[in-house]
Structure 1
């Protein structure tokens, strides 16, 4: 039980860091081009991961390199969509919409038993919430903003990424630091060619922007990805996604408290539905998973009971 709580706490901490990242990324993209922000985030993260790997001095495997390169591509796709999305919407909206990942991951997670219908009722609640958040602009209900649509696309890709991480770590023993380092290097290589025209602007950025980039790279990048990989190895992709679903709470909190943002009544209603659906789905998934071992033990004990009954007869 203590190990489960520790894993859950790490995932919630990752959600807190990622929730705050939307406001930080939005502030950075107000000063620098999106691709320059992404390159700095990846390059600084790759250097930090390289230092961790050198200190630990653990042997590498080909699986870590191959899987890390593949996950680096999917991770880069998520970050590109997220960063462009948050640049064209509010941090609160971005954090709320990305939590659609919660309802998209379970169908992709083959490591868990089928979930009950109540989970999908919670998922439907989240879908309704997404509609209210995306359409609840300043003038009332209307078409969602381009940034909101990009965040929805990021949620789809992130669901696939989380499920893929779970599948890789379930089949192979991998070192999270190696896996994260390869992902960071792969992301740096993918983004670099498109960043060359913006390197001058990146070099001329001030200390405040530099601090934001360091936070995105070290806290939201290295720490979060290492912690996520470590935690997914000890739980299911569905449970990890549900716990990471507390991310919108922190996104809204930082956006409202520190970013001076506000939610329209429709978007606020959507936020409430999203949080309700998230926590309901989390409770259903946890209860269903806890019932699995008990059900298996009960089924396994039936032959023993039947055999004892026959012997007594």
Structure 2
């Protein structure tokens, strides 16, 4: 399925935007907004309580389709979701703790390195030849992210939170490549894959929560603004986003998936500007254009 095009000359080339690529760009918009929203939500809750609430709510929304798919015998290979669920749990830990200890723009830049890392991870995990076209676009995109987050220094000083975000970038690269490898030719629906991953992450977060503190129900935030932010993150940045990622990686190259979602720093910087009052300069705007050009060139290329 592609967008209609009125100009035949324009459409005779490869300048078309398939549905899968459009969904991935929508994920990038949601994820870009998630950094600022997450930082605000963490003002009301501890890291692991917030993580448990967010992901267990996601799992709760997926219980019905999960049971339905099992009853219809569509999940014979359900166990393939376990390794990717473990990786996703590690990503959440690194990202949420990291975001609480660094700026939204730093987080957006460092997580974008998963774009380049995925290109090399696909060679190692999926034994695919290195795609020089996507690698070049990945480097161009990350250069754009560097300009987008440039603060007047030639190098980025990394604190503890930054290192955690960098680890999350590596894990994201591993996540998309492993999901491709594990689900290839396997019988499991994308909804069930997402549900099982959510269950693993949510239970893992809850275990860490009760290990860290004496948990009781009165500790759950009651502020309405916290719940509005959490529901947004659940619906858009967790359930929808991870479903689309699982769906897309089974159809197209993991490197392309990562590159398209790599546009999230553009939206991260925009939301940081609007939500957290962080500055945005002409240089940052130039970086944003570079990222979007990379993403568009990737979008219109098949595979």
Higher helix share: 1
2:209 alignment partner in structure 1? 195
Q: Please give the TM-score of this superposition, normalised by the length of structure 2.
A: 0.80
Of residues 113, 118, 132 in structure 2, which corresponds to 1:105?
118
8 Å CA contact 1:115–1:285 kept in 2: the answer is: no
> Is 2:29 the partner of 1:13?
no
8 Å CA contact 2:145–2:265 kept in 1: the answer is: no
- Distance in 2, Cα, partners of 1:84 & 1:44: 20
Of residues 108, 115, 121 in structure 1, which corresponds to 2:131?
115
> Is 2:176 the partner of 1:159?
no
- Which piece of structure 1 moves more, 38-47 or 193-202? 193-202
Deviation at 1:111, TM superposition (A): 6.7
Structure 2 vs 1, CA of residues 150 and 129 (structure 1 numbering), >3 Å: closer, same or farther?
farther
Of residues 175, 178, 185 in structure 1, which corresponds to 2:189?
175
8 Å CA contact 2:148–2:286 kept in 1: the answer is: no
Structure 2 vs 1, CA of residues 102 and 71 (structure 1 numbering), >3 Å: closer, same or farther?
same
Of residues 207, 210, 215 in structure 1, which corresponds to 2:224?
207
Deviation at 1:80, TM superposition (A): 0.8
State the structure with more CA Rg: 1
Q: Please give the TM-score of this superposition, normalised by the length of structure 1.
A: 0.78
Deviation at 1:144, TM superposition (A): 2.4
Deviations 1:28-79 (A, max 9, x none): 1122111111111111111011133346654243422x12111111001111
Deviations 1:265-312 (A, max 9, x none): 7xx85785576367447737965x57xxxxxxxxxxxxxxxxxxxxxx
Of residues 72, 78, 82 in structure 1, which corresponds to 2:95?
82
Of residues 105, 120, 142 in structure 2, which corresponds to 1:92?
105
Deviations 1:94-128 (A, max 9, x none): 12321111101012223754312x65455455666
The number of residue pairs the alignment matches comes to 283
SS at match of 2:77: helix
8 Å CA contact 1:112–1:236 kept in 2: the answer is: no
- Distance in 1, Cα, partners of 2:119 & 2:135: 10
> Is 2:251 the partner of 1:234?
yes
- Which piece of structure 1 moves more, 95-104 or 124-133? 124-133
8 Å CA contact 2:147–2:287 kept in 1: the answer is: no
Structure 2 vs 1, CA of residues 280 and 27 (structure 1 numbering), >3 Å: closer, same or farther?
same
Structure 2 vs 1, CA of residues 133 and 250 (structure 1 numbering), >3 Å: closer, same or farther?
closer
* Unmatched 5+ stretches in structure 1: 291-313
8 Å CA contact 1:103–1:123 kept in 2: the answer is: yes
Deviations 1:197-250 (A, max 9, x none): 255564243111112122222221111111211122221111111111111111
- Distance in 1, Cα, partners of 2:219 & 2:285: 35
Structure 2 vs 1, CA of residues 133 and 145 (structure 1 numbering), >3 Å: closer, same or farther?
farther
Report 1:27-106 matches (<5 A). Answer: 27-54=40-67, 58-64=72-78, 66-106=79-119
1:2 alignment partner in structure 2? 2
- Distance in 1, Cα, partners of 2:183 & 2:33: 27
Give the root-mean-square deviation of aligned CA atoms: 3.0
1:144 alignment partner in structure 2? 158
- Distance in 1, Cα, partners of 2:177 & 2:55: 22
- Which piece of structure 1 moves more, 86-95 or 195-204? 195-204
- Distance in 2, Cα, partners of 1:45 & 1:26: 19
- Distance in 2, Cα, partners of 1:221 & 1:31: 19
